[in-house]
Amino acid sequence: MLAGVYEQEEQAENIDRFISKVQKYLDLDELTPAILNDMVKAMYVHAPDNSKGHREQQIDISYVLVGIRPMSLLNGLQNGETA
């Protein structure tokens, strides 16, 4: 049980650190390699899907400290919301 509490505390700290990183990049004019290296751990590009009559392609981004997060969460951070 104690390990689970520790993991939750560590996850909360990582989210706080990630939010601090995101906030310093909110008003970007240019996405640079340095920013990508600071924020992104990996990108996963899925096979294209044409089943709806148009091409859709899913891309998942694994962020440093927090892993893959829904875009809605990141949009909320940009609007001043917190996790």
What pLDDT is recorded for position 83? 45
Q: What's the pLDDT at 53?
A: 93
For the chain, the residue count is 83
Contact present, 40 and 64 (Cβ < 8 Å): yes
Amino acid 47: pLDDT? 93
Taking the chain (83 residues) in runs of 10, the rounded mean pLDDT of each run is: 77 87 86 90 91 90 82 56 49
* CB of 83 closer than 8 Å to CB of 31: no
DSSP annotation string for 14-58: HHHHHHHHHHHTTT-S---HHHHHHHEEEEEEPPPB-TTSS-B--
